[in-house]
A and B are shown apart, each in its own frame.
Chain A
Amino acid sequence: MLSRTAENLYWLARYVERAEYLARTIDATLRVTALPAAYIGKTNEWDSALLTAGVAASFYQAYEEANEHNVVEYLSFSQNNPSSIRNCIEAARLNSRSVRTALTSEMWDTINSAWIELQAVWSKGTSTREDLAKFLRFVQETSLRFDGSAYRTMLRNDAYWFSRMGVHLERADNTARILDVKYHVLLPEEEHVGGPLDFYQWSSILRSVSALTAYHWVYRETLKPWLIADLLILNDTLPRSLASCYGNLVRNLDQIGVAYGRQGPAQRHARGIRNRLEHSNMNDIFQHGVHEFIQEFIADNSRLGEIITKQYLI
């Protein structure tokens, strides 16, 4: 297939995934900030939301204070923030238009109708909490529908695999970023100074990767920080864990390798990351330092993005 088509499919999937993640982050932050101050301590949750979205620096160039109004505006609607939900949806629609021939009509319809519907939100904004909640839900549903129609209607060929790679790479990045911002509340008990306050922090982390219920099914335990870290990093049954994302990335890259009859640096690099995740356990990671581990992962993950681009997309 055309390199540009593959590139568009890959980025289309990334944009949709990112929009959903942003919507989840805002949603989870709204919840936690609605609690009385005594339950969440002194941290500015809106500031963490900016950090997990990776846009704190550009935000502070435009705004002075990270409060609900400013951050919601910046993450959801701002045209100056290249990865606001609005810009993700606009970019997804533009990408869809340029690769229409590679999309199934169901996928196109999902993006196009969401785009049409959201034009009204862009022009009117969300004046109430209810409007905002509706909007955030709509964005998440759009992503689910897009993912679902891709899964149900696309041919299982390179177009599908490139699109899935976009999803998993973006997802791994998002999960890693939450961990990066919140790692201090996930440290093992003895090193940890927070106390029961952190319960709400923990549930908020799980909520932003839609894993709160999953946690209870997997561990049958009350929320424990090292188990949360285990779930999000190493548990390959959780679709948003780093291990699961890399299991899928390796599989997709292998499928492409087989179809094209050759492997390359992307396959090797992805396998390297997957092996490291497979052979780690939480003890080692805490020994080594969660923060360092995550930082390394984020760098490796974005390096894979560059390698894929070089090998296939340009």
Chain B
Amino acid sequence: MAVAFDEMNIPGGDLRPAYQELARWLKETPPEALEYRRQEAELLFRRIGITFAVYGDSESTERLIPFDVIPRIMSGKEWARLEKGLKQRVRALNMFLRDIYHGRDILRADIVPDDLIFQNPVFRPEMNGQQVPHDVYVHIAGIDIVRVDAEDFIVLEDNARTPSGVSYMLENREIMMRLFPDLFARHRVAPVERYPDELLAALRSVAPQSASGEPTVALLTPGVYNSAYYEHSFLADKLGIELVEGRDLIVKNNEVFMRTTEGLKRVDVIYRRVDDDFLDPLTFRPDSVLGVPGLMSAYAAGNITLANAVGTGIADDKAIYSYMPDIVKFYLGEEPILKNVPTWRCREPKDLAYVLDNLSELVVKEVHGSGGYGMLIGPAATKATIEAFRDKLKREPEGFIAQPTLALSTCPTCTASGLAPRHVDLRPFVLTGSKSTTIVPGGLTRVALKEGSLVVNSSQGGGTKDTWILDE
């Protein structure tokens, strides 16, 4: 594995320009002061109740995501390029979804194999021919980005279903501004606080035609026991919209209503944080108590907008991921600005053979997995784990893809033994409304707190950092 790109230090001893002021500040600040602020931050998080649940962990059902007080900094120029690439990528994702559920030009052009779509459990035949307002399918995208050198941004994963984490982006900034006002005074950090406004504007812009002039938007949550519940209530609060559960909604004459103390009130747009499978027990899983019976027929009748649309999973599926550069070229006729990680599709015998021969150097992922579960990190795995994975791969090769182990870039991070480099990624949030695509500068930086670890997922010991884009 190559040496990781250090986002602060240039080999040879110089600092990258974006980090110069931070480095000066760090030198002036005694380590105890940092430690004190770190504890203060943790206390704030706990009091505000910014917690997440870990499934299958009965001991402590509410945990804090560790927060690292050292910001991750990017120059405005770097951001501008990343932003352009993100907009391009999300435009392509939306066009791809529109095509898959309508004309299917891309399949006829033999760019993506048919069976990857039609045999994919996240493909939703219910969406065939269904019109969605302004052809927007992915209103909110979380694109996971990693860096391996000063030049390139690489997309690790597209999240086009119900990406989470944006509340951490916003709260991390709040807490940093509270704890380090002097540090902010020495930088020109682009603000992130308009995200809720932009999200609300995007959601209202895609209201169905039958909606009134002031469309009613609601956020649909699976409820208090969901791991991202804090985020749901946080966003509903910031957007000033009702936080509803399935039982609060009812479908009558193909319109969706919420039960209020003054009777039924029509809902026009649902920002749903419930997976497709659970949305409507009449269409999808009949055992789901989280959804709303009849929601899909109201959707088909065009009386409700769901954000994100149903069936977007087909665009962020790991098996489709490897085709993304071709997808961008096909719809936009442009070279993709963001790179993909080279990916071996284990469904193809040649690729599978290569993967089996090189397991100890590769990262192998389940096509339908998420959250860092069910993943093999070859260089860090024991022989036994590798052999177990080999068996799984041989049994069901189409369920996996493999990628080289990326040396994710590193940022200085507080550790038990002082500041030390730790690997990071970045999830910017891309909003698409009827007229425009916008991105609040920055995103959620996740950091692998264990030395050498490359797994940044919060369910597996990852933490977060505030992400600064310098306004130059």
Let me know if B281 is at the binding interface, CB within 8 A: no
Q: Shortest beta-carbon distance, A161 to chain B, in Å?
A: 10
How far apart are the CA atoms of A12 and B262 in the complex, in Å?
21
Q: Which residues in A have their C-beta under 8 angstroms from that of B49?
A: 97, 100, 108, 112
B47: Cβ under 8 A from any A Cβ: yes
CB–CB B224/A98 < 8 A: yes
Is the pair A94, B259 in contact by a Cβ cutoff of 8 Å?
no
A108 and chain B: residue at smallest CB distance? B49
B224, A97: Cβ atoms closer than 8 Å: yes
User: With A97-B49, A97-B233, A158-B261 in contact, do A4 and B245 touch (Cβ < 8 Å)?
Assistant: yes
Question: Which one, B223, B242, B260, contacts A98 given CB within 8 A?
Answer: B223
Instruction: Note all chain B residues with C-beta closer than 8 A to A97.
Output: 49, 224, 229, 233
Interface residues of A: mostly helix, strand, loop or mixed? Answer: helix
Q: Pick from A3, A112, A158, A313: contact of B47, CB below 8 A.
A: A112
In the bound complex, residues from chain B placing their C-beta under 8 Å from that of A113 are 47
Which among A100, A112, A256, A314 has the greatest number of chain B C-beta atoms within 10 A?
A: A100
Contact with B along A98-124 (1 / 0, CB 8 A): 101100000011001100100000000
Chain B binding surface, main DSSP class: mixed
CA of A281 to CA of B94, assembled, Å = 74
Are B261 and A3 in contact, with the CB atoms below 8 A? yes
- Enumerate B241-276 residues with CB–CB distance to A below 8 Å: 242-245, 247-248, 258-262
Decide if B237 is an interface residue (CB 8 Å cutoff).
Answer: yes
Given A2-B242, A3-B248, A101-B243: A109 in contact with B47 (beta carbons within 8 A) = yes
Chain A neighbourhood of B236, CB < 8 A: 101
Most chain A CB neighbours (cut-off 10 Å) among B49, B245, B261, B262: B261
B285 interface hit (Cβ, 8 Å): no
> Which residue from chain B places its CB closest to the CB of A6 in the assembled complex?
B261
In-complex Cβ contact of B259 among A2, A112, A158, A256 (8 A): A2
* A135 in the interface (beta carbon within 8 A): no
Mark contacts of B318-357 with chain A using CB atoms, 8 A cut-off: 1 yes-contact digit, 0 otherwise: 0000000000000000000000000000000000000000
**Bound CA span A313–B260, Å:** 8
Residues of A within 8 A of B77 (CB): none
Distance between Cα atoms of A109 and B258 in the complex (Å) = 29
B40 to chain A, nearest CB (A): 15
B247 touches A260 (CB 8 A): no
List of B residues within 8 angstroms of A100 by Cβ = 49, 233, 237
B68 to chain A, nearest CB (A): 23
Mark interface residues in A273-314 (1 if CB within 8 Å of B CB, else 0).
000000000000000000000000000000000000000111
A78 shortest CB reach to chain B, Å: 21
Q: Is the CB of A1 closer than 8 A to any CB of chain B?
A: yes
Q: Could you tell me the distance between the alpha carbons of A112 and B62 in the complex, rounded to whole angstroms?
A: 12
Contacts of B242 in A (CB 8 A): 1-2, 5, 101
Interface residues of B in 214-228 (CB under 8 A from A): 223-224
Q: Which residue of B lies closest to A113 (CB)?
A: B47
Interface size for chain A: under 10, 10 to 19, 20 to 34, or 35 or more residues?
A: 20 to 34
Q: Are A101 and B233 in contact (CB under 8 A)?
A: yes
Q: Using Cβ atoms and an 8 Å threshold, which residues of chain A touch B262?
A: 260
The size bracket of the interface on B is 20 to 34
- A51-86, CB < 8 A from B: none
Chain B residues with CB below 8 A from A101, complex form = 233, 236-237, 242-243
How near does chain B come to A93, taking the closest CB pair, in angstroms? 9
Bound together, the chains give a CA A260 to CA B229 distance in angstroms of 30
Q: Could you say which residues of chain B place their CB within 8 Å of the CB of A98?
A: 223-224
Q: Are B259 and A4 in contact (CB under 8 A)?
A: yes
In the complex, chain A residues whose CB is within 8 Å of the CB of B243: 101
Closest chain-B Cβ to A98's Cβ sits at a distance in Å of: 5
Chain A residues with CB under 8 Å of B258's CB are 2
Residues of A within 8 A of B245 (CB): 4
B46 within 8 A of A: yes
Q: Return B240 CB to nearest CB of chain A, in Å.
A: 9
CA distance A158 to B224 in the complex (A): 23
Q: Complex: how many Å from CA A116 to CA B46?
A: 9
Q: Which residues of B contact A2 (CB under 8 A)?
A: 242, 244, 248, 258-261
Query: A3 touching B237 by the CB < 8 A rule?
Result: no
Q: Are the C-beta atoms of A1 and B261 separated by less than 8 Å?
A: yes
How far does the Cβ of B238 sit from chain A's closest Cβ, in whole Å?
9
Task: Return the chain A residue nearest B46 by Cβ.
Answer: A116
Chain B neighbourhood of A3, CB < 8 A: 248, 259-261
Chain A residues within 8 Å of B244, by CB: 2
Q: Which of A94, A112, A116 contacts B224 (CB 8 A)?
A: A94
* Docked complex Cα distance between A306 and B356 (Å): 66
Assuming the A-B contacts A4-B247, A98-B224, A108-B49, are A312 and B233 also in contact, with contact meaning beta carbons closer than 8 angstroms in the complex? no
Assembled-state Cα–Cα distance A4/B249 (Å):
11
Q: Give residues of chain A (1-41) contacting chain B, Cβ–Cβ below 8 Å.
A: 1-6
Contacts of A116 in B (CB 8 A): 46-47
Give the complex CA separation of A116 and B51 in angstroms.
13
| Interface set, chain B 62-97, CB cutoff 8 A to A | none
Q: Taking the nearest CB of chain B, how far is it from the CB of A11, in angstroms?
A: 14
Min C-beta distance of B44 to chain A, whole Å:
11
Cα-based distance from A109 to B44 in the complex (angstroms): 11
The minimal Cβ–Cβ distance linking B140 to chain A, given in whole angstroms, is 19
**Smallest beta-carbon distance A1→chain B, Å:** 5
**Cβ–Cβ contact A312 & B47, under 8 A:** no
Residue of chain A at shortest CB distance from B264: A3
List the B side residues contacting A162 at CB < 8 Å: 261
Report Cα–Cα, A162/B262, bound state, in Å: 13
Question: Which residue of A1, A108, A109 is within 8 Å of B260 (Cβ)?
Answer: A1
Binding site for B on A (CB under 8 A): 1-6, 94, 97-98, 100-101, 108-109, 112-113, 116, 158, 162, 256, 260, 312-314
* 8 more CB-based (< 8 A) A-B contacts, given A4-B245, A108-B49, A313-B261: A2-B242, A2-B244, A2-B248, A3-B248, A97-B224, A100-B233, A101-B233, A260-B262
Closest CB pairs A-B (n = 10)? A101-B237, A100-B233, A312-B261, A3-B259, A6-B261, A98-B224, A97-B224, A101-B236, A260-B262, A112-B49
Task: Mark B residues whose CB is within 8 Å of A.
Answer: 46-47, 49, 223-224, 229, 233, 236-237, 242-245, 247-248, 258-262
What are some 12 contacts across the A-B interface (CB < 8 A)? A97-B224, A97-B229, A100-B233, A101-B237, A101-B243, A109-B47, A112-B47, A113-B47, A116-B47, A256-B261, A260-B262, A314-B259
